[in-house]
Amino acid sequence: MLVCFPQGCPSSSHNVGLFSTGLSILPSSLPHQFHFVNLTKTWTEAQSFCRQNYTDLATIDDDMADMKKLNNTVSAGWKGSVWIGLYNNIWRWSLGNRELEGEGFWAQGQPNIDPNRKYFCVCMMLNGSWFNNNCNTTSNFVCYDKNATNKYIHINESKTWSDAQSYCREKHTDLASVRNTTEMEATKTITLKHDKNQTYRAWIGLHKPLGVWRWSDQSGSSHRNWDSNEPNGAGVGKEGYFCGEVISSGKWNDKICTHTQPFICYDGELPT
């Protein structure tokens, strides 16, 4: 039997893998209508499926009724875990703590999020392209100084990303942000003046701070229902656990995003 909502059932292409054996959707009086999708997908694949067939991966609002209904949906007929819309795959600039917008200037195959390594800080190569690296690696770096005539300053000292950030904040403004082609060309020009080695790299201000979780639909819901000692993606051997799931207890866990499992979509208006 299919899970349907008051406006009718999804078209036949949406029905694959939808079950109502103890799994239901939210009544129309509540803000979200949840849909359990019994297809095994990675978090990104699940997000694409939900956006194509519904609204997005499930967001859980502060409303306790919302949380209770989702818990009942999962626990009534499913003993495994399912993806929800929570994720922590966010790159931010040191200056202003602003999120990376657009595609950036990543080198081919980057960013490379290896679950066994803490590659959460970004270096720039001589051609201006980026790759993520272990933050404890030492490299030269580029500072930004809002008060200087030449605002980008190449520092020919080898430091970790955190030490480079501290240096730039103490002596200039911050590590360099590279938000557009103009800034990319400016920082590239500075580095080319100091090194012609094609293996050269320099820290810039982009990094992935742990502990910043967002919803796929970009809603502002601050509700969290983590299981005890979760999220623990920063633990040894669990680096790269950037996506959220609901387990059979109704509590939340973080998991590596390339794992495949069922998921929960929702129907409703996107936040404005």
Q: How far apart are the first and last CA of the chain?
A: 34
Q: How many CB atoms lie within 10 A of CB 119?
A: 21
Q: 67: part of which helix (H) or strand (E)?
A: helix 64-77
How far, in Å, CA of 202 to CA of 154, rounded? 9
How far, in Å, CA of 252 to CA of 242, rounded? 13
pLDDT digits (tens, 9 = 90+) for 175-221: 999 999 999 999 988 887 766 666 678 999 999 876 678 788 877 67
pLDDT band at 2 (very low <50, low <70, confident <90, very high): very low
Provide the whole-model pTM.
0.60
Return the SS3 of 46: helix
pLDDT digits (tens, 9 = 90+) for 53-106: 999 998 887 666 666 766 666 645 567 789 999 887 778 899 988 888 888 899
One-letter amino acid identity for 212?
Answer: V
Considering only the top CATH level, what class is 12-89+213-267?
Answer: alpha beta
pLDDT band at 264 (very low <50, low <70, confident <90, very high): confident
**Smallest Cα–Cα separation from 267: which of 41, 45, 58?**
58
pLDDT band at 112 (very low <50, low <70, confident <90, very high): confident
Domain extents in the chain: 12-89+213-267, 92-207
Q: What is the pLDDT of residue 22?
A: 32
How far, in Å, CA of 232 to CA of 69, rounded? 26
